[in-house]
Amino acid sequence: MAITVRDVRAFKERGEKFVMLTAYDAFSAQLLDEEGIPLILVGDTLGMVMLGYDSTVPVTMEDQLHHTKAVRRGTKNALVVGDMPFMSYQGSVTEGIHNAGRFLKEGGANCVKLEGGESVLDLVSRLTSIGIPVMGHLGLTPQSVNAFGGYRVQGRDDEQAHKIAEDAKSLEAAGAFSLVLEAVPAGLAKEITESLSIPTIGIGAGPDCDGQVLVWHDFLGITPYRTAKFVKKYASLGDDIRRASNAFKDEVARGEFPSEEYSYE
Ligand code: KIV
């Protein structure tokens, strides 16, 4: 059965922990969908894990839409979350509405995710009122990497922690149906999770969020560089890919592939 934003809220009401994973193409999305992963995020991490940029800043609407359409084609039941890229919504509410609409109309997403607190509240409430569900994102918001001066845990001091907690309440009041908390201390994430009626989805935010999210390449062990402390690798596909490509290369060099089994008579 197709997952809706109501189902996502119901996870929290029932106290049922849930997961979200990122995907960027149809087959990967299909695998997750068939395994019953309820939320698939077409994250703007696309820029780093698929396109080779060193941050999410250069990612465009066209990049995101291209991959959201692919994920949509591979997904039957999961809720597809379209991640609004940097400068697709920060300029004005009008531009944000236009671009969020494109995610639903052209990309086939069921909802959008956007980063930030106070500065996006008007947009969140307009989108919600016109039928575009919004997932918020607070803490380490990677589109602001230049302002943060690097990828650092956010909310370690009282002032920052207070601001994140306040923003979380404001996003809920503006109509967000869920909230990603990235790289914040576990205690702060717990406090925020307990203070909200909408579910929180943590990444580097400890065990007390209502849900957890990981990035495709990270959780499958494909990412070729050192990953953040919060990444658990559930597979070692990077090693498998290296092994497989060497085996192919060596078998062809030795004349072992293709054997009769893999040839037409
Ligand atoms: O872009 C992304 O993949 C994300 C997750 C890390 C939550 O925003």
Tell whether 102 and 82 lie within a shared domain: yes
Distance CA 42, CA 40 (A): 7
Rounded to whole angstroms, how far apart are CA atoms 180 and 39?
12
Identify whether residues 258 and 162 lie together within a single domain. no
In short, whether 183's Cβ falls inside 6 Å of ligand 1 is no
Residues 73 and 175 in one domain: yes
Same domain for 134 and 65, yes or no, is: yes
Index of the ligand 1 atom closest to the CA of residue 41: 3
Is pTM beyond 0.95? Reply is: yes
Residues 124 and 242 in one domain: no
Q: Amino acid identity of 223?
A: T
Residues 21 and 80 in one domain: yes
By residue range, what is the domain housing residue 254? 237-265
CA–CA dist 160, 63 (Å, integer): 32
Report the chain's mean pLDDT, rounded to a whole number. Answer: 98
- Same domain for 221 and 260, yes or no, is no
Residue 74 pLDDT? 98
Any atom of ligand 1 within 6 Å of the Cβ of 203: yes
CATH number at residue 195: 3.20.20.60
Q: Are 207 and 200 in contact (CB under 8 A)?
A: no
Residue 211: strand, helix, or coil: strand
Cα distances (angstroms) measured from residue 156 to each of 17, 140, 192: 25, 11, 14
Same domain, 171 and 251: no
- 182 among known catalytic residues: yes
| CA of residue 265 to ligand 1 center, whole Å | 49
CB crowding 171-194: b at 16 or more within 10 Å, else e: bbebbbbbbbbbbbbeebbbbbbe
In a shared domain, residues 104 and 118:
yes
Q: Which atom of ligand 1 is nearest to the CA of 56?
A: 1
Shared-domain flag, residues 29 and 154: yes
Is 244 found in the same domain as 206?
no
- Nearest protein Cα to ligand 1, atom 2: 43
- Per-residue pLDDT band for 71 (boundaries 50, 70, 90) equals very high
Q: Are residues 53 and 161 in the same domain?
A: yes
Ligand 1 neighbourhood includes 210 CB (under 6 angstroms): no
- The whole-angstrom separation of Cα 137 and Cα 32 is 22
- List pLDDT tens digits, range 178-230: 999 999 999 999 999 999 999 999 999 999 999 999 999 999 999 998 999 99
Q: CA 61 to CA 43: how far, in whole Å?
A: 12
Domain count for the chain: 2
Local structure of residue 41 (DSSP, 8 states):
E
121-143: pLDDT as tens digits: 999 999 999 999 999 999 999 99
Residue type at 164?
I
Tally Cβ neighbours within 10 Å of residue 247.
12
